[in-house]
Amino acid sequence: EDEELRSELEKHHPVAYGWALHCCGRNPGEAEDVLQTAYLRILGGKARLNGSSSFRTWLFAVVRNTAADRQRSWWRRLVR
């Protein structure tokens, strides 16, 4: 299962990176960080595909949520 997951991530990487760029305001460095964090969440089992959506839809949701988490964290630090 882990090998299949890695294969799907590799297959979808170009579009996932494009989505991460969109979610990060076209900032390549931020998009790379978000995508790496999203992949770590997925491979570490913190984000799990439950079968209610396609792999691509699920992956995009994980990337979007990861970007939103990073942005919230940044705002919290800025306010303090």
Q: What is the pLDDT of residues 14-52, one digit of tens each?
A: 999 999 999 999 999 999 999 999 999 999 999 999 989
What's the chain's average pLDDT? 94
d(CA 59, CA 56): 5
The residue that leads in pLDDT, 22 or 77, is 22
d(CA 50, CA 22): 25
Q: Is the alpha carbon torsion for 59, 39, 22, 7 positive or negative?
A: negative
The residue that leads in pLDDT, 6 or 75, is 6
| The overall pTM is greater than 0.85 | yes
